[in-house]
């Protein structure tokens, strides 16, 4: 018998995804691995046990984890799950280690070699393993679908004999993978879309999708991207200027979708209570960062909140999981692509090369120790997560009335009357 890969059913009630698909089961079998899928693991993702069995997997039970050399999961295993894993097993999942030092320490105590898929480097070789991109892409799509479901009007402009229905105005805050898909989806549904981000490189991407770009384009803006392609945390001065620029814009929007996340930090507050109060009744805000503290004041994890002025703030948890059937297929392929690099093709056994750049970037624990440099002290010095950027800073003096003078200058920039100025709408 070859080495065994175990795919369990996720225990989290909010997690319908599964870490394998019939396609990846076939591919894993072709590597010489034996696959056991826990009964019911794929039910919530529309993959019945029979489909896994046809692809070559054995349908097992929780106790089968004890003989697994590799465990593929969606979420970080619980303490109870870890007790059922054998020491030395490779556990690959979205570990979400920031602020979860006890979970990281538990992985080390269990003696497993744990890999955190969200730390996969964004390099050409690892594109097929990028779980953040595959899942964020679906989250951006679903955010627009959720917004449309809560919005009680049509999104596209409709010209009828009875009159014209105006197109909905959608504003996307944060133009990463999720934001770009949100733009594309909102445009396909007929909305008039604008978007903002602190990274200058996304300006052309936004425009290529048919949306307008909104940002304060000063010198700080030009250097507002990390080497890894993520947004940098901006200065308080820039945050205030950006807030002033967006405050009036938000007041005119029908739909706002926020996607801003900074790795290792709580989500920055982008939309204040005052901004929410300035929006029209029936407007919808979807906060995709709600699980990391939220971009919107008043957002509540797992709930749709209706404010006093009739604005709905959508805070659904695990948005990729709301399209679990699609999300699982993509996530399973991400896992297979990574696991394939860890298997020796000649011996058909797990052969982890600890000097490989992918391994070094993603390995959290190994040999009973926390080995990732960002969490190596987790068992000694608990990680203290920094406070979120307060909304009072992000929206300093950015009420609608105070932002009015700014609007005039921005309009000139937008129309080209003041092309030499670095601020405004592109």
Active site residue 130: yes
Give the integer Cα–Cα distance in Å for 78 and 101. 13
Two structure tokens written together for 332: 């399973």
Catalytic residue among 34, 64, 101, 130: 130
DSSP 8-state secondary structure symbol assigned to residue 253: -
Quickly count: other Cβ atoms within 10 Å of residue 308's Cβ: 7
E strand spans, 179-331 = 192-196, 212-216, 255-258, 284-287, 304-306, 312-314
| Residue 142 falls in which region: left (phi positive, over 0), alpha (psi -120 to 50) or beta | alpha
Query: Which residue from 299, 282, 291, 254 is spatially nearest to 391, judged by alpha carbons?
Result: 299
Give the integer Cα–Cα distance in Å for 172 and 178. 10
Active site residue 98: no
Two structure tokens written together for 147: 């917004």
Catalytic residue among 30, 87, 102, 127: 127
CB contact burial 21-51 (16+ within 10 A = b; e otherwise): bbebbebbbebbbbbbbbeebbebbebebee
Catalytic residue among 12, 46, 188, 230: 230
Query: Which residue from 61, 69, 145 is spatially nearest to 113, judged by alpha carbons?
Result: 69
Give the integer Cα–Cα distance in Å for 312 and 209. 27
| Residue 161 falls in which region: left (phi positive, over 0), alpha (psi -120 to 50) or beta | alpha
The H or E element spanning position 152 is none
One-character DSSP codes across 93-137: EE---TT-HHHHHHHHHTT-EEEEGGG---SGGGGGG-HHHHHHH
DSSP 8-state secondary structure symbol assigned to residue 231: B
Active site residue 230: yes
CA angle 235, 315, 148 (to 5 degrees): 105
Active site residue 96: no
Catalytic residue among 3, 21, 133, 242: 133
Active site residue 238: no
Catalytic residues: 122, 127, 130, 133, 230
């Amino acid at each position: 018998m070859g080495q065994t890969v175990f795919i369990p059913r996720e225990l989290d009630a909010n997690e319908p995804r599964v870490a394998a698909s019939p396609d990846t089961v076939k591919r894993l079998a072709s590597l010489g691995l034996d696959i056991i899928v826990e009964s019911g693991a794929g039910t919530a993702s529309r993959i019945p046990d029979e489909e896994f069995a046809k692809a070559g997997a054995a349908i097992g039970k929780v106790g089968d984890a004890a003989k697994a050399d590799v465990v593929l999961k969606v979420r970080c295993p619980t303490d109870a799950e870890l007790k059922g894993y054998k020491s030395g097993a490779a556990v690959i999942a979205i570990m979400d280690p920031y602020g979860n030092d006890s979970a990281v320490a538990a992985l080390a105590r269990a003696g497993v070699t744990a890999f955190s898929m969200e730390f996969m480097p964004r390099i050409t070789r690892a594109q097929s393993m990028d779980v953040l991109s595959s899942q964020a892409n679906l989250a951006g799509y679903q955010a627009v679908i959720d917004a449309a479901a809560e919005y009680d009007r049509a999104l596209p402009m409709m010209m009828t004999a009875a009159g014209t229905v105006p197109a909905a105005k959608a504003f996307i805050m944060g133009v990463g993978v999720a934001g770009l898909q949100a733009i594309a989806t909102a445009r396909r549904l007929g909305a008039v879309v604008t978007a903002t981000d602190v990274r200058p490189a996304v300006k052309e991407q936004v425009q290529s999708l048919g949306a307008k770009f909104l940002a304060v384009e000063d010198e700080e803006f030009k250097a507002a991207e990390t080497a890894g392609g993520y947004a940098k945390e901006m200065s308080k001065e820039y945050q205030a200027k950006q807030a002033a620029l967006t405050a009036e814009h938000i007041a005119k929007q029908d739909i706002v979708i926020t996607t801003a996340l900074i790795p290792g930090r709580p989500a920055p507050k982008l939309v204040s209570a005052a901004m929410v109060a300035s929006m029209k009744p029936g407007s919808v805000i979807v906060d995709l960062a709600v699980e990391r503290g939220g971009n919107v004041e008043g957002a509540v994890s797992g709930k749709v909140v209706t404010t006093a002025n009739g604005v709905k703030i959508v805070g659904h948890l695990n948005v990729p999981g709301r399209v679990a059937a699609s999300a699982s297929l993509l996530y399973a392929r991400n896992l297979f692509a990574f696991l394939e690099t860890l298997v020796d093709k000649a011996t058909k056994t797990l052969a982890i090369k600890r000097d490989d750049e992918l391994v070094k970037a993603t390995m959290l624990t190994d040999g009973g120790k926390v080995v990732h440099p960002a969490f190596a002290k987790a068992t000694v010095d608990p990680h203290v997560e920094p406070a979120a950027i307060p909304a009072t800073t992000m929206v300093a003096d950015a009420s609608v009335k105070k932002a009015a003078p700014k609007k005039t200058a921005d309009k000139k920039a937008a129309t080209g009357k003041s092309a030499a100025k670095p601020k405004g709408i592109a």
